[in-house]
Structure 1
Amino acid sequence: MGSDQHSNDLAGFLRARRTQVTPQQVGLPTGPGHRRTPGLRREELATLAGVSIDYYTRLERGKETRPSPAVVDSLARALHLQEDEHEHLRRLAARAARTAPEPPTVPSRAVRPGVKLLLENLRPSPAYVLSRTLDILAANPGGLQLYAGIDNWPARRRNLARYYFLHPSARDLFPEWDTRVRGCVARLRALAGTDPDAPDLAQLVGELLLKSADFARLWERYDVRPHRPGTKHFHHPQVSDLTLGYQSMQLDGTPGHRLVAYYAEPGSADHDAMVLLDMLGAQNTSRSADRTADADRRDRTR
């Protein structure tokens, strides 16, 4: 991806966010009649940011690629961007100003033995290791069982974004599916701001744009959001309703790898459900290992 595409990324972000800010939010009168433009008009945003209409129009068209830090900060204030979104805009502007593209990075998918041992020691708490594009690289039994049906997919296809949008069980599993998928897409958008040429990201986004209209709609909003701790609600087909807290942490020595672990208060119904998930996941893992061993034995006797 060259500098022209980088400037298009900046332009696309500005256009998308401008349409999401209403005149009422910035104290502008709406006036009589219907506004044909959703959100703010270009001239309104330019005035709020203290830049000329011509200059802002060139930014949105990708013709201006070197906005100063002061202009970027003014645009962020005018667009009512949150801190994460403001930082994303800074990164887009910095990339647009470059004349030569940076070489794409190809992160490792290998999970260290010590991390796999840690996943096992966290049982019965569901836990797994994610790549930067939300591939499940490793998981303990409960971590895989938590996402109902994902173990039916080949290991290379086990990706949370793919699961949210394409797996038939996802909408039933998450009572707050809309909130969950918005956060998922926003995290991928944040990655696109730091490493837009990454082949792993391009492949996943391309697949989801083609196969999911919901993903395509959210992708065009240009929301960005980091991963934060909290709670998640599940309506699981095997253990019914449960609410689990979760914590995410970056793993030292492996760029882009993140460990996610869930927890519940000991003695609670949620903790009992968590223990049951771990047991079911262990049984599935054992059966899968037996099938693999049987297949290996058949191959050796042929």
Structure 2
Amino acid sequence: MAQKMMDGKVVVVTGSGGGIGRDMALALAAEGARVVVNDIGTSTNGEGTDDGPAHQVVAEIKAAGGEAVTNTDSVSEAASAARIVECAVDSFGRIDGVVNNAGILRDRFFHKMSLDEWDAVIKVHLYGSYYMSRAAATHFKEQESGAFVHMTSTSGLIGNFGQANYSAAKLALTALSKSIALDMQKFNVRSNCIAPFAWSRMIGSIPTDTPEQQARVAKIQQMTPNKIAPLAVYLLSDAASDVNAQVFAVRNNEIFLMSQPRPVRGIHRSEGWTPQSIAEHGMPALRSSFFELERSGEVFSWDPI
């Protein structure tokens, strides 16, 4: 029998009871990974719990001949996130990969956003990814191997309306990934990000009150979650041993390498700058390189291929 890309590896996928997470869990198992399917079974705003979705995915994996276990702990608290990692070690004897996919949405225009709406989203996306990564890092360091895949978003990388909480968490997550990559590369630990375009329960909460919104959602519905899974499997495999600290986007059949902040243009004045000289000379020299105030949909403006 031909060796599969993930043979012998154990991977935790958070938020894998449905959508993108489910497809990643199924794809990882199909490539030989033993998978911890983590999902607390909440609604998209993080309320209510139901262990059914995770159990269903585990049943699917087992029916296809794979190995998986259910876990319903929350990523949003350090102790429960640690239990998710321990579930992998207790069940399968080790842990080789973590996919930080769990997420919730509480969309609101910034000037109306409540403290709770801010806290809840930051706790799941950013703190949750930190808690999971930190718990796994101890094992990865000891065995001198391991890989992280963090799900970021073009809402953070580029921008979007009504998502200050989500955008802040997702852009922060790319910096967390870079820091993990820098600090742990000496232990052969890798950390990369994927910004997915795909129809999911979270995207399903986008309003469809106007024809424009309905058309936008119709386009997103064409982008199925299973398009994301192949890149995640690859990044967690040994085939990606030289891929570290990168940010990718997947949009239907397209894969993009996203840019990271670097100097675009510089100005120098030997006698130094004053507020006046900046206004008169400095800013006019830089203005042609300014970035437009754009949303993700305006940058990715073509139909999915």
TM-score for both structures, normalised by structure 1: 0.26
Relative to its length, the structure with more helix (as a share) is 1
TM-score under structure 2 length normalisation? 0.26
* Larger Rg belongs to: 1
